[in-house]
């Protein structure tokens, strides 16, 4: 029996990295999983594999999370097909930044549109279903830089700090409805997004990780799975670090 | 059940009021139609018509009559 047997889950940014691994872990634990990504067809192969391997439904949806109408349609599709939504993972995010003095308004808006406003919007939509069933778990993806900050990452840090604050506020508002809201705050995770900074920078960054290695997507996905499951039934409003004791 | 019956039932069941009080009823006229009651009402209406209201429409929905006007929009397609 899996930790998420029969639960209906929705994961944004599911095409790669932490999102894809979360979808895989959820399927492995018996969940019915809907995953979104931007690029048409990009999840078809992996999701097909998960379906076969774990004998459950893993359904790809392709849309931009900043598109309110598309997000609404996705939640409606889940409602019509499954009648409920048990878990939302707000994983979709972008990491773009610049040094202070070179941060354009356009950049700020782009990062906040995806990392903050879309999270709020999809949370509102999902919460409407969860409030009716008086249960649910929402897991947001913050970051270690959301509380600690990082030089050259002012915009990204601010956006992830907003996610942490949103998590705390939403947990207070939604707990009377039996809805839990938590976040994970990953440190340095071995994803394509992180590897894009280059090998030299990666080695520099590793010296700040006391466990001496980068985190893997599964390290984060395991904590998300715990927060999604009834194993964490009395946990809400928490921001859980997944960083191997990293100092930024 | 007709659309107006579905609409009225959503009010009656969510806000626990009688049908004769619906005409002219405005948001926060009665204790039950506060912000929490509003979300319960919206949920009942969405379930009754199998729709999902836009956030802006939920905010604008400030009376019994206004609700009918919103639901009559093309995107929701509810005719009264």
Region A92-109 average pLDDT: 96
How do the domains of chain A map onto residue ranges?
A: 8-242
Q: Which residues of B touch A85 (CB under 8 A)?
A: none
Q: Which residues of A touch B55 (CB under 8 A)?
A: 68, 121, 124
A76 vs B54: CB contact, 8 Å cut-off?
Answer: no
B52 vs A132: CB contact, 8 Å cut-off?
Answer: no
pLDDT computed for residue A192 by the predictor: 86
Domain A8-242 architecture: 3-Layer(aba) Sandwich (3.40)
User: Fold for domain B3-71?
Assistant: 1.10.1200
> pLDDT of A24-56, one tens digit each?
999 999 999 999 999 999 999 999 999 999 999
Residue A193 has pLDDT above 80, yes or no: no
pLDDT computed for residue A162 by the predictor: 98
Q: Which 3 state secondary structure label does DSSP give B6? A: helix
How do the domains of chain B map onto residue ranges?
A: 3-71
A80 vs B50: CB contact, 8 Å cut-off?
Answer: yes
- B25-48 burial string, b = 16+ CB within 10 Å, else e? bebeeeebbeeebbbbbbbbbbeb
Region A156-178 average pLDDT: 97
Chain A contact present for B42, CB below 8 A? yes
Q: Pseudo-torsion of CA A73, A96, A149, A191, nearest 10°?
A: 80
Residue A13 zone, left/alpha/beta (φ > 0; ψ -120 to 50; rest): left
What is the spatial distance between Cα A218 and Cα B58, in angstroms, rounded to a whole number? 39
Look at residues B46, B5, B36 and name the one whose alpha carbon lies nearest to residue B22: B5
Look at residues A84, A111, A86, A83 and name the one whose alpha carbon lies nearest to residue A97: A111
The tokens describing A104, both together, are 């354009």
Residues 51-80 on B with a CB inside 8 Å of A are 51-52, 54-55
DSSP state of A113: I
Q: Respond yes or no: is residue A156 known to be catalytic.
A: yes
Instruction: Give Cα A187 distance to the centre of its chain.
Output: 14
B50 vs A131: CB contact, 8 Å cut-off?
Answer: no
The active-site residue, picked from A34, A105, A156, A234, is A156
A8: which strand partners? A32
Q: Which residues of B touch A121 (CB under 8 A)?
A: 55
Residue A23 zone, left/alpha/beta (φ > 0; ψ -120 to 50; rest): alpha
Pairing of strands A58-62, A87-90: unpaired
What is the spatial distance between Cα A218 and Cα A239, in angstroms, rounded to a whole number? 18
A139: which strand partners? A89, A182
Q: Which of A125, A127, A131 to mutate against chain B (most B CBs within 10 Å)? A: A131
Classify the complex by whether its ipTM is higher than 0.90, answering yes or no: no
B32 band by pLDDT with thresholds 50, 70 and 90: very high
The tokens describing A135, both together, are 């249960």
DSSP track, A101-138: T---HHHHHHHHIIIIIHHHHHHHHHHHHHHHHT-EEE
């Amino acid at each position: 029996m899996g930790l998420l047997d029969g639960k209906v889950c929705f994961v944004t940014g599911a095409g790669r990295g932490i999102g894809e691994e979360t979808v895989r872990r959820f399927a492995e634990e018996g969940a019915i999983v809907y995953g979104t990504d931007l690029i048409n067809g990009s999840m078809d192969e992996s999701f097909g594999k998960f379906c076969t391997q774990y004998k459950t439904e893993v359904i790809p949806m392709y849309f931009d999370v900043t598109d309110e109408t598309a997000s609404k349609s996705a939640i409606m599709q889940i409602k019509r097909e499954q009648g409920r939504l048990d878990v939302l993972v707000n994983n979709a995010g972008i990491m773009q930044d610049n040094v202070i003095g070179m941060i354009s308004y356009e950049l700020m808006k782009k990062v906040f549109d995806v990392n903050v406003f879309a999270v709020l919007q999809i949370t509102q939509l999902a919460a409407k279903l969860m409030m009716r069933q008086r249960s649910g778990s929402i897991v947001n993806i913050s970051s270690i830089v959301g509380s600690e900050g990082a030089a050259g990452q002012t915009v990204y840090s601010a956006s992830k700090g907003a996610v942490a604050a949103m998590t705390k506020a939403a947990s207070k508002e939604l707990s009377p409805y039996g809805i839990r809201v938590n976040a994970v705050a990953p440190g340095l995770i071995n994803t394509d997004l992180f590897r894009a900074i280059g090998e030299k920078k990666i080695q520099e960054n590793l010296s700040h990780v006391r466990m001496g290695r980068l985190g893997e997507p599964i390290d984060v996905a395991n904590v998300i799975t715990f927060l999604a499951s009834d194993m964490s039934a009395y946990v809400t409003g928490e921001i859980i670090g997944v960083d191997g004791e990293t100092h930024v | 059940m007709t659309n107006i019956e579905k609409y009225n039932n959503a009010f009656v069941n969510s806000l626990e009021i009688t049908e004769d009080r619906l005409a002219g009823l405005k948001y926060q006229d009665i204790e039950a139609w506060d912000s929490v009651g509003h979300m319960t009402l919206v949920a009942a209406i969405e379930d009754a018509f199998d729709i999902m209201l836009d956030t802006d429409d939920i905010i604008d929905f400030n009376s019994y009559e206004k609700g009918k006007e919103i639901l009559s929009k093309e995107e929701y397609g509810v005719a009264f």
